[in-house]
Amino acid sequence: MKRHYPEAEKRNGVGTWASCLLTVLLALLLLSHAVAQEMPAPMPTEPEAHWIYPLGGRQGARVEAEVEGRLLQEVHAVWSTESGLRGAILEVRPVAEQTKEGEGGEKGGYGDKDKAPTQRVTLELEIDPDVPSGIHSLYLVSGQGISNPLSFLVNSDPVTEESRDAGGVESGLRTVRPPLILNGRLSSDGEVDSYALEVTAGDAFTFELFSPAETFRSTLRLFREEGSWLRGDKPAELEFSHKGSYSPSQARHWRHRFSRGGRYLVAVGSVYGRAEPEFIYQLRIAPAGNGERYRDWPGSVGAAKWSERQYLRQLPPDRLRQLWARTVKPAGSAPRSKAGSGTEKGARGTTGTQGPSDPSSDGTNPTLAVFEENEPNGSRDQALAVSLPALISGSIEAPGDVDFFRFRLPAGQQLVFEVETPRVAPPAFSPSLKVLDSAGHPLFDNKHRKIALTRQDPIFLVELLKLHLPDRGICGIGSLAFFESLEAKMVAEFGVAGDYILQVGDLTSQQGHRDHAYRVLVRPHIPHVGELELEGDRINLTRGQVRKLTVTTGLEEGYSGQVALSLEGLPAGVVPLTGTEVEPPSPIGPTTESRKSFLGFSEKAVILLRADEQAPLTDLPVRVKVWAQPALENRLGTRLPVGEVPLMVIGSREQASES
Amino acid sequence: MSHRLAFLMGMLDWKRPVRVLVLGLLPILVPGHLEAEKDRRVAPAEPAANPNDSAEAGRILAPDGLRDFRLVPSQVGLRGKGASQSFVVVATDGRGLEVDLTSESRFDLTNDRLAQVTADGLLTARSDGELQLRADIAGQQLTATVHIEGTGRARPFGFARDVVGVFTRNGCNGSECHGGVKGRGGFKLSLHGINPREDYRWTVKGGVYQVLSPKAAEPFNPRVDLEEPQQSRLLQKPAMDLPHGGGQRFERDSADYRTLLEWIRQGAPYGAGGSGSRVQRLEVFPREAIMEPGTRRRLLVTALLEDGRSQDLSPEVLYESSDPAVIDVSPAGVVRALKPGQARIAIRAAGKLVQVRCGVIRQPLDRYPRVAGRNFIDEEVFDRLRELHIVPAGLSSDSAFLRRVCLDLTGTLPPPERVREFLADRDPLKRENLIERLLNSPEFVDYWTFRFADFFRVVYRNAYSYKSWIRESLARNKPYDHMARERVASQGNGGPTRHFIKSISGEMMRPHEKMGEDVRVFLGIRLDCAQCHDHPYETWTQDQFWGITAFYGQLTRIRSLSAFMDDISGNEEQPEGPKVTHPRRRQEVAPRFLDGSPPATLGGNPREKLADWMTAPDNPYFSQAIVNRVWANFFGKGLVEPVDDFRPGNPASHPELLEALAEDFRRSGFDLRHLMRTIARSRTYQLSGDLNPTNREDEINHSRALPRRLEAEILLDAISRVTGIEEAFAVHEYVGGGTEPRGTRAIELVPEVTPSQFLEVYGRPVSRDSMPWRDYRSTLRQALHLLVGSTYTSKIAAEGGRVGQLLSAGASDREIVRELYLAALSRFPTAEEETRLQALIEGSPSRRKGVENLAWGLLASRQFTYNH
C-alpha cells in the first residue's frame, strides 16, 4: 500500500524550489565569472606604470631603474613632487606578453588587438643628498599625459641590489653587513632570495620588508648555514624564525636575536612560492632597537592624515581643537555641547587645556582632563573617577586585565568614545570598550554588528546556502551575511542622569602586554567634517574636453552643513565647473542607526575641469591643490587640505598627429 | 629477496619498451611488493646486535598434571522464587593454562530440599536456608556456600531487567535492529536497553520516533494487547506468528516468550525495576581466557545491583565474538577456541557492557625464555606475550634500528655517511644517543608538524599561522596539555584560533563542528553521530552532545579583525552562559561536560572551563588519546584502533599498557618528547621483524616489528633524498598558482593547494576538511606509477642526481652498490648481493643503465617502501 505523506511532499516541494533557485544562482554566477574571465583588459587611455625596480635608492646616489607599464612608448620625462628627485629616460622598449621572467614570448607591440602592449622604460634617477628619507612618488610623463605614481623609497642606509646569486637557500653566498637596504624581486615561481649574514652570539637585528605589491604575501625565514645531522647539505632553518602572513601588507617587520654566532641566511620568499614581476621588495636589516622605519615614514601605512577611525591615529590633548577646526564655530551664543563637563570630585589625573591663549569661553574648546589609569582598577568598585571630556591612557598589560573608569552625566547627553592604540594595533591588541550603567549592566560597546554583502564566489555561496543552524558566527542565506567589527569610535546617547562605567579591555581574555597601550577620548559629540578623499591620482586633460574630479567628504556626528571645495594651481585655460553625479543605490548597506553610532555619513562632490581648445599644452605636470571648507549657517570655516593631484593639459591624438 | 631483485635487474633495462612486459610481472616476481604481504619477514638475515639478547623459543610440550582447582563462585546469595546460579570448575594445568573442568565435574548438594543442581552446574533455589554445593573432579572435592532467602515470593518483576533483558538477549535492541537511530518497522528501542523508560513508552504506547522532536509521531500502535495478551505484536512478531523482518527470535514455548506473556498478562507494568534492583555494572568470569584450539570455557556473568546484591545473568545476556573464526561463543556463554589468534567477547545486558579478552595459542611452551625488558612498556608487553606463550623476536640490527627510528622520529632517511658513522660506533649507548639527537633535530620538528597538521586539521585557509603555532609549540616542547588548552580555549586571531576556520568557505565552523573536532582530537572520541540522535553504537547521547557543544555557543568572529572571542552577555555578577539550542527539544542547552557535570561558574571564556576539564589529570581520555596516537606512529597501529575511536565497545589491545603510558605521560608534565623517548628506547620498539614458531600469527601483541608502508609524503621525500633530485611542487591556480621554493619537502605542503599525482596515488588525504584518512592499500595505479611514472624514472636519470654524481666521480661498481644501499636501505649489501649486483652492472648494455636499474630496483623494493 502506498502511503501518502503530505508533509514530505511539502518539504520536497520547497526543496525543489530551493534547488531551482540554487541552480539558477549558481549558473548566473558561473556565467558571470566566465564572462569576467574572458573580458580582455581594457585598453588604457593614459600612461600606466605597474612597477619600478629597484624600489629605492640612497640619498646622494644615482640609480638606474626600470619601469614597466602600458602606453609608455612616448614617455619623455620623469617627474616627482620632490624636487631633489630627478630622472631621465634612457630607453623605452616593448616587452613580451608573458610577464613572469623566464616565460618570455615574442615581444609585444600591438600584435594582440585584445591586449594592450607593455613597455619597459629604463631611466636614471638622481637623488640629491638632501632628499628626505621616505616614500616619494615618481611619475612618467609623455605626450599622452602623466602616469600613475610609483612609490620610490629614499634611504640613508647603504642600498644593495639583490645579489645575483640569491636564487635559493644555499650556502656560500656573499655576506651582507647591516645596517643596509636590499632591493629584490621575486619574479619566478618558487624563487627565494637569500642573503648571508655573519653574526656574533647575542646580536639582534630588525628585518623590515616593504613592498608596494598588493598581492605579495611575503615570508622571511632564517637559516643557519651549516646543516643538521641528518641533512648536512642543507642550511637548517632556525626555529621561531618562520614568519609570514597570509594577508598581504605593505610593510612588515621581524626581530630576531641570535643565540649562536656564525653565518646565517636570510631568505625572502612568498606564500606558496608565488611570484610576479611586481613582487618587488626592499629589505632593511639593521641592529634592533632603531624603530620601524617603513611604518613610520610619511606617506606609508599609518602616515599622518586626518583619520576618524584608524586605531593608530593620534588623539592628542588638543583633539577637541582639531575637531572644532573641522566645523564652523557657532555665531553668537555657542551651541553648548550636549555633554556636561562637570568634574568628578576627587578625580585623579592632570588637567590639560588647549593653552592659555585659547580659553573655552565659547564652549567650543572645553577643558580636556587627562587621566592615566592607576592600578588597581580592575573592578567597578575600583573604577577611577574621571571628569568629562577626558583623555584616558592606560594599557592592558596582562591577559584578562580590565580597566574601569567612572563618570557622571546629566540626563540627555550624547558622548563620543574614541580609542587609539599608539603602539600595537588590532588584531594583536584589539581594545574593547564597554559602557555600563551603575549596576553593571552593559549599555554600549564598540562592537558593530552589521549586515553586508559578502564575497560572490560560487563555493562561498554554496556554503552559505546551506541551512545554518543557530550559530553566532554567521547566519545568512545567499550572499548576505551578518558580521561584526570592532570600531575605534562610537557615539552613544545617555538619556538618564547618573553614574556610568567605562570598561576597557582586550577583545579576548588571552592577550596582554605592556605595549598594549590605549588612549580613550570621551568627549561631547561635535558635528564636523570628517575624512576627505580625493579620487584619482592624476588628471590628463585633453584640450576641449572635461575630466571630473571627485571629492568624498565625511560628515561626522550629525554635521548638517555644506562643504565648499576650491582648487589652487590650475594651469591657464583650465576652468573648474560644478558637476553633479547620481550615486548608484547601495544594494544593502549599514542602517542609519549603524551609521550614526559607528560609521558616519559621507557625500560625494564632483568638480568638472574643462580645458579650452586653446589651452596651452603642459610639458610637465602642474600640482593642483584641492581645499575644503565647512559651511554652516551662511558662514565658512577653516580651509582644510583635501589633497594634491598632478594635472597635464594634453592634445588629442588628432592634434598630436597634426602637430 | 635480494637475489630475485638482482636476477630481475639483470634481465631488465627499464627504459626499453620491450621490457615493460617483463616489468609488469614485477609485482609478482618481487613478493609482497604490491600484493598483500604473506611473509612478514622483510629484513634480510642479519645478525642481531647482541645475539645473547635474542629470545629463545621454548620447547612445546603436552598437558601435564592439574593443580589449583577452584569452584566459582565460592559463595553466593540467592533471593526469590526460582533464583538460580551457574557454577564452573577450573584448574591450572602443568603448562600454566587455566582449563574449564565443569563438564567433567560431578555436582551434588548437602541439602536437596533447599535447591537442585544440574549436571552442568546450574543451581536453582527451592527453599530458604544455607547449603553447600560440592564438585568432585579428579579426586578433588570443591565446595561453595549458597545462601537462599525469599523463596516464598516471586522476585519483583522489573521491565528494565526482565523485558529489556529479553530484548537484549535476542538482539532486538541492537543497532541493526530496533536499537537503530529510528528503530525499525515503526518500533524503536534504545540501543542495548540504555534507556528502559523510553523503551517502555515505545512498547506500551507506541508511536514513531522523530529525530528532531522529542514527541513521538503517529500512528500510536502499542506493541502489547492487554485484553488478548497472546495477540500482542511483541509476541507475534518475534515468534513469527506475523511476518517479521528480523526473523524468528524465539519459540512460542521458550522462556523468553513466557516471560513477555506473563508480563503482559500482569498488565504490562513498569514494575519494580526501579529502586535497588537496577543493574549498576556487569562482571564476568573469567575476564581473560588463554585457550588451546578445540577447548571450551564457560562464562559466568554477574550483575551487580544498586542495592549491593548480585545476580547471575549468564543465561540472560547477549554474547558477541569480535572474531568468530578464532573464538565462537554460544547463547549460553560457552566459549570455543577455534584457531590461534585473539578475539574479544562483548557481553551486553541492561544497557551495560563487559568484555572478555580471549587468546588462542598454538601450543603452550614448557620453558619460556627470559626476555630482558628496558622499561615499563616492555614489562607490560612481555608479560602479555608470556601469558600468550608467544616469544618475541630478537633485537633489531643497528642498521634496521637506525632506519626505523630516523623515519619514525623525523620522517627522514639517514644519509650514507651517517649510516657508516652509526654502524661503526662502538658506544654501548649509541642507540640512546641517536634517539636524543633525533629528538632535538630540526627534522623532528618538521616531521611532527606534519603529523600534527594531519590530525589538527591544517588546511589552506588556516595554514600559515596555525601551522606556525604547531611548529613553534613542538619546537619549544610545549607541554601537550598547554597545546590543548591553547587550541580549545583560543581567542583572538593567533595561530590556534585558525582551526575554527573551515577549509572550503573560510567561514567559522559551527559550534557542534568545533566541539566534535576538539573531542575527537583531544579525547579520541567520535561524538558526531550523537548530533542528531543517541549514538547508534555506543552510549553517547544527544543530550551529552549538545551539552558539551554549549561551551562553544558564544564564540563569535570579529570579521574585520579575523579574530574570535566569546560574546558573553549579562553582567559580571550574572553572566549569561553559552547559548545552544537542542535540536529536538528546541530548548536552550546548558553547558555540561561529557560526564554530565556542569561547570562550577558561568561567564568568561567557557571553553577555558572545558579545556580545564579535558586536560585534567583525572580525565583518562585526554592522555590516553595522545599516547595512543603517538604509539600508532611508532608501531603502525594504536593500542586503540582507530586511534580516535575510544569507546567501551572498542577497547585497547593492551589496556594496562595504555594506562601506564598515559600515567607516565601525565607525570612527565605532558612531555611529548619524553613519551617518544620512552617508546623508542623500549625493547618492544627495537625488536626485529624476525618470525619464530610462536609469533608467526601475532599481529597485535608486538612480538616483532611489523613492516609499515611509508606514507605518501615520506616516500616521496625519501625518493628525492636517495636520488638527490628535489621535487618541484606546483601550487594550485585557485590560490594564485606558483611553485613551492626549491627544497620544499612533501611533508611541508598543504595538500589542498599542492596537487601531486604521486602523493594522491600513494594515499595522501586530498582534504583535511573532515577526518583525514590515509589510504595504505596497494593499488594498480601505484604499480603503473612505479613502472612508468616520472617520479622514479626522471629522478633516477636526472643530471646532477646521485647516480650521475657517483658515475662522474669515478666510483667503482662496488662503491656504487654500497652507496646506493646505504642511501636507500641504510645498510651495506651482503657479500652475495654485492657480488651479484656488480656482475649485473658489468653485464648491462651500458654502465649508466646498469646503475640506474640498480637504483630503480632498490626504490621499487619493499625494503625501501616500508619502514620495518
Q: What are the pLDDT digits (tens) for A211-232?
A: 989 888 888 888 999 999 999 9
Identify the CATH number of the domain in which residue B295 sits. Answer: 2.60.40.1080
**Integer CA distances (angstroms), B581 to B214, B587, B762, in order:** 13, 5, 43
Q: Furthest-apart CA pair in chain A: how many Å?
A: 97
What per-residue confidence (pLDDT) applies to B81?
A: 83
State whether residue B541 sits within 8 Å of chain A by CB: no
Counted domains in chain B = 5
Q: Are residues A459 and B418, on separate chains, in Cβ contact within 8 Å?
A: no
Together in a domain, B597 and B716: no
pLDDT of B46 strictly over 60: no
Residue that wins the pLDDT comparison between B219 and A9: B219
Name which of B441, B505, B565 is nearest A228 (Cβ-Cβ). B441
- Asked whether residue B60 is assigned to any structural domain, the reply reads no
Over residues B179-207, the mean pLDDT reads 85
What ipTM does the predicted assembly reach? 0.80
Q: Which of B118, B149, B180 is the last residue of a domain?
A: B149
Together in a domain, B139 and B170: no
Q: Are residues B563 and A271, on separate chains, in Cβ contact within 8 Å?
A: no
Instruction: Give the residue carrying C-alpha cell 610440550.
Output: B61
What per-residue confidence (pLDDT) applies to B352?
A: 83
Write the DSSP assignment of B683-722 as a string of letters: HHHHB-----TTTSS-SSS-SSPPPEEPPHHHHHHHHHHH
What per-residue confidence (pLDDT) applies to A281?
A: 92
What per-residue confidence (pLDDT) applies to B534?
A: 58
pLDDT of B198 strictly over 90: no
What per-residue confidence (pLDDT) applies to B190?
A: 84
How many interchain CB pairs under 8 A, A with B?
186
Instruction: Give the residue carrying C-alpha cell 573531542.
Output: B519
Q: What is the dihedral of CA A459, A463, A464, A469, to 10 degrees?
A: 180
Over residues B659-666, the mean pLDDT reads 97
Q: Which of B651, B640, B638, B649 is nearest to B536 (CA)?
A: B649
pLDDT of A187 strictly over 70: yes
Task: Give the confidence band of A98 by pLDDT, cuts at 50, 70, 90.
Answer: low
CATH class for domain A48-151?
A: mainly beta
What per-residue confidence (pLDDT) applies to A241?
A: 53
DSSP state letter for B805: H
Assigned C-alpha cell, B202: 515505545
What per-residue confidence (pLDDT) applies to B761?
A: 92
State whether residue B491 sits within 8 Å of chain A by CB: yes
Helix H or strand E segment including A395: strand A390-395
Q: Name the residue in chain A with its Cα closest to that of B582.
A: A470
Beta carbons of B707 and B399 less than 8 angstroms apart: no
Together in a domain, B586 and B503: yes
Name which of B559, B565, B743 is nearest A508 (Cβ-Cβ). B565
Residue that wins the pLDDT comparison between B5 and B535: B535
Write the DSSP assignment of A229-275 as a string of letters: SS-TTSPEEPTT--EE-SS--SEEEEEEE-SS-EEEEEEEEEGGG--
Q: Are residues B740 and A472, on separate chains, in Cβ contact within 8 Å?
A: no
> B621 to chain A nearest CA, in Å?
26
Task: Give the confidence band of B847 by pLDDT, cuts at 50, 70, 90.
Answer: very high
State whether residue A145 sits within 8 Å of chain B by CB: no
Pick the CATH number of A159-296 from 3.60.15.10, 2.40.110.10, 2.60.120.380, 3.40.50.10320: 2.60.120.380
The total of other beta-carbon atoms located within 10 Å of residue A581's CB is 11
The whole-angstrom separation of Cα A548 and Cα A584 is 17
State whether residue B742 sits within 8 Å of chain A by CB: yes
Q: Are residues A242 and B471, on separate chains, in Cβ contact within 8 Å?
A: yes
Q: Among A13-17, A598-602, B579-583, which stretch is predicted with the lowest mean pLDDT?
A: A13-17
Task: Give the confidence band of A242 by pLDDT, cuts at 50, 70, 90.
Answer: low
The whole-angstrom separation of Cα A563 and Cα A630 is 5
Question: Over the stretch B373-387, which tens digit does the pLDDT of each residue have?
Answer: 999 999 999 999 998
Assigned C-alpha cell, B625: 588519546
Task: Give the confidence band of B49 by pLDDT, cuts at 50, 70, 90.
Answer: very low
Over residues B503-529, the mean pLDDT reads 85
pLDDT of A351 strictly over 50: no
CATH topology of domain A319-446+487-525: Jelly Rolls (2.60.120)
Q: Among A163-172, A444-453, A598-607, B319-328, which stretch is predicted with the lowest mean pLDDT?
A: A163-172
Q: Which of A120, A147, A122, A119 is nearest to A64 (CA)?
A: A122
Q: Which of B149, B179, B204 is the last residue of a domain?
A: B149
Assigned C-alpha cell, B429: 649507548
The length of chain A in residues reads: 659
Q: Are residues A240 and B475, on separate chains, in Cβ contact within 8 Å?
A: yes
The whole-angstrom separation of Cα B555 and Cα A30 is 33
Name which of A234, A272, A486 is nearest B560 (Cβ-Cβ). A486
The percent of residues in chain B predicted with pLDDT above 70, rounded, is 88
Instruction: Give the residue carrying C-alpha cell 595504505.
Output: B776
Task: Give the confidence band of A253 by pLDDT, cuts at 50, 70, 90.
Answer: confident
What are the boundaries of each domain within chain A?
A: 48-151, 159-296, 319-446+487-525, 530-658
Instruction: Give the residue carrying C-alpha cell 605542503.
Output: B749
Over residues B629-653, the mean pLDDT reads 92
pLDDT of B408 strictly over 60: yes
Beta carbons of B723 and B855 less than 8 angstroms apart: yes
Task: Residue window 809-828, chain B: list those with CB within 8 Å of chain A.
Answer: none
Task: Give the confidence band of B17 by pLDDT, cuts at 50, 70, 90.
Answer: very low
Candidate ranges A291-300, B103-112, B363-372; pick with highest mean pLDDT: B103-112
Q: Are residues B511 and A192, on separate chains, in Cβ contact within 8 Å?
A: no
The whole-angstrom separation of Cα B165 and Cα B177 is 15
State whether residue A113 sits within 8 Å of chain B by CB: no
Together in a domain, B853 and B717: yes
Assigned C-alpha cell, B70: 577452584
Residue that wins the pLDDT comparison between A8 and A369: A369
The two domains A48-151 and A159-296 share their CATH topology (first three levels equal)? no
What per-residue confidence (pLDDT) applies to A574?
A: 96
Average pLDDT, chain A: 79
What per-residue confidence (pLDDT) applies to B28?
A: 31
> A494 to chain B nearest CA, in Å?
19
Q: Are residues A231 and B443, on separate chains, in Cβ contact within 8 Å?
A: yes
Q: Which candidate in B512, B560, B586, B769 is best for mutational testing of the A interface (most A CBs within 10 A)?
A: B560
Q: Are residues A272 and B471, on separate chains, in Cβ contact within 8 Å?
A: no
Task: Provide, as residue numbers in chain B, all residues whose Cβ is less than 8 Å from the Cβ of A232.
Answer: 415, 417
Task: Residue window 231-270, chain A: list those with CB within 8 Å of chain B.
Answer: 231-234, 236-237, 239-240, 242-246, 269-270
Together in a domain, B215 and B301: no
State whether residue B478 sits within 8 Å of chain A by CB: no
Task: Give the confidence band of B12 by pLDDT, cuts at 50, 70, 90.
Answer: very low
Average pLDDT, chain B: 85
What per-residue confidence (pLDDT) applies to B301?
A: 95
Task: Give the confidence band of B33 by pLDDT, cuts at 50, 70, 90.
Answer: very low
Domain coverage including residue B828: 2-40+709-867
Together in a domain, B133 and B218: no
Q: Which of A441, A443, A439, A421 is nearest to A430 (CA)?
A: A421
Over residues A167-171, the mean pLDDT reads 64
State whether residue A507 sits within 8 Å of chain B by CB: yes
Question: Over the stretch A419-433, which tens digit does the pLDDT of each residue have?
Answer: 999 888 888 889 999
Question: Over the stretch B414-473, which tens digit does the pLDDT of each residue have?
Answer: 999 999 999 999 999 999 999 999 999 999 999 999 999 988 988 887 888 899 899 999
What per-residue confidence (pLDDT) applies to B362?
A: 85
> A8 to chain B nearest CA, in Å?
13
Helices B620-635, B511-523: axis angle to 10 degrees equals 70
Residue that wins the pLDDT comparison between B244 and B681: B681
What per-residue confidence (pLDDT) applies to B724?
A: 95
How are the residues of chain B apportioned to helix, strand and coil, as percentages rounded to the nearest 5? Answer: 40, 15, 45
What per-residue confidence (pLDDT) applies to B76?
A: 93
The whole-angstrom separation of Cα B853 and Cα B359 is 47
- Asked whether residue B77 is assigned to any structural domain, the reply reads yes
Beta carbons of B862 and B1 less than 8 angstroms apart: yes
The whole-angstrom separation of Cα A217 and Cα A244 is 7
The total of other beta-carbon atoms located within 10 Å of residue A212's CB is 20
Together in a domain, B163 and B245: yes
Q: Are residues A439 and B571, on separate chains, in Cβ contact within 8 Å?
A: yes
What per-residue confidence (pLDDT) applies to B26?
A: 38
**Integer CA distances (angstroms), B277 to B170, B274, B303, B308, in order:** 22, 6, 10, 9
- Among left, alpha and beta (phi > 0; psi -120 to 50; other), residue A498 is left
The whole-angstrom separation of Cα A44 and Cα A66 is 20
Identify the CATH number of the domain in which residue B140 sits. Answer: 2.60.40.10
The total of other beta-carbon atoms located within 10 Å of residue B159's CB is 22
What per-residue confidence (pLDDT) applies to A616?
A: 94
Task: Give the confidence band of B538 by pLDDT, cuts at 50, 70, 90.
Answer: low
Task: Give the confidence band of B572 by pLDDT, cuts at 50, 70, 90.
Answer: low
DSSP state letter for B271: B
Q: Are residues A242 and B468, on separate chains, in Cβ contact within 8 Å?
A: yes
The whole-angstrom separation of Cα B112 and Cα B89 is 20
Q: Which of B122, B149, B176 is the last residue of a domain?
A: B149
Over residues B700-724, the mean pLDDT reads 95
The whole-angstrom separation of Cα B604 and Cα B566 is 8
> B498 to chain A nearest CA, in Å?
12
Q: Are residues B738 and A189, on separate chains, in Cβ contact within 8 Å?
A: yes
Name which of A192, A245, A483 is nearest B741 (Cβ-Cβ). A192
pLDDT of B815 strictly over 90: yes
Q: Are residues A473 and B507, on separate chains, in Cβ contact within 8 Å?
A: yes
Q: Among A422-431, B318-327, B576-585, which stretch is predicted with the lowest mean pLDDT?
A: B576-585
Over residues B663-691, the mean pLDDT reads 97
Assigned C-alpha cell, B220: 500510536
Over residues A134-153, the mean pLDDT reads 94
- Asked whether residue B339 is assigned to any structural domain, the reply reads yes
What per-residue confidence (pLDDT) applies to B573?
A: 56
What per-residue confidence (pLDDT) applies to B118?
A: 94
Over residues B5-15, the mean pLDDT reads 38
Q: Are residues A473 and B491, on separate chains, in Cβ contact within 8 Å?
A: no
> A98 to chain B nearest CA, in Å?
15
Question: Over the stretch B22-31, which tens digit does the pLDDT of each residue have?
Answer: 333 333 333 3
Cis ω for the linkage preceding B219 (within 30 of 0): yes
Task: Residue window 404-443, chain A: list those with CB within 8 Å of chain B.
Answer: 426-427, 430, 436, 439-442
Q: Among A134-143, A554-563, B546-555, which stretch is predicted with the lowest mean pLDDT?
A: B546-555
What per-residue confidence (pLDDT) applies to A333?
A: 45
CATH class for domain A530-658?
A: mainly beta
Q: Are residues B464 and A246, on separate chains, in Cβ contact within 8 Å?
A: yes
What per-residue confidence (pLDDT) applies to B239?
A: 92
Assigned C-alpha cell, B384: 602479555
What per-residue confidence (pLDDT) applies to B501?
A: 84
Q: What is the pTM of this model?
A: 0.82
Q: Are residues B491 and A192, on separate chains, in Cβ contact within 8 Å?
A: no
